[in-house]
Amino acid sequence: MAWLAHLYTASGAATALAAVLALEGGDLRGTFLWLVLATIIDATDGVLARALHVKERLPWFDGATLDNVVDYLTYVFVPALVVVKAGLVPAPLAIPLAAAMLIASGYGFSRADAKVATTDHFFTGFPSYWNIVVVYLVDWRLGTAANAVILAALVVLVFVPLRYVYPSRTVTWRTATIVLGAIWGVCLALVIWRLPGSGGIWSWLALVFPVYYVVLSLKLSAGERRPI
């Protein structure tokens, strides 16, 4: 049973492959839907692992490393490829910005304090939610120059040690986070489903949770919490 939990985590890598194949076929909506599935797996595999006591049953196998490998593929590599393939930024900046995303997130994933357990759990630095960022950039259609500025700013924020909410584990306002996050997930899925259409009520509703997330993250950053 413990191995099933690790297999469930590893299946996220298969969704990354499916997303790349969809992107190569010009199916941007399919690419994002595969990334949605990857996010669902990532949001639930920890709960399954803890329920099955995988650390006690397989102490020699590091599920956290496996999780980071899969997350890097689905949260970073595939979205970076979307930036290049979908023409989201000016052509001369596509490769440099995609490379900056990959390198910055490689640093972010490798920090010893990337995921810190204090009296509240949180991520340190922008937690490489590139899979979500590219969906918004496609939906908003702000223009390639504006997209480049947004991506560059987020690359910088990877290195800024602000605290960001760990949605499934942060204690502060946890119920609100889970409820709003679930509603947001539905809204974002609808935004993706209607692509290549954009705008409208779902796009606006899909902004509620990110605003809440930023507010709560700033609250965590401003508060003093000692490691436990």
Specify the pLDDT at position 135. Answer: 96
Element (H, E) at 212: helix 208-222
**Terminal CA-CA length for the chain:** 30
Q: What angle do CA 130, 191, 21 make, to 5 degrees?
A: 55
Q: pLDDT tens across 92-126, in order?
A: 999 999 999 999 999 999 887 666 545 567 788 89
pLDDT higher than threshold 60 for residue 87: yes
Specify the pLDDT at position 228. Answer: 37
Specify the pLDDT at position 16. Answer: 97
Distance CA 48, CA 5 (A): 6
Question: How confident is residue 226, by pLDDT bands cut at 50, 70 and 90?
Answer: very low
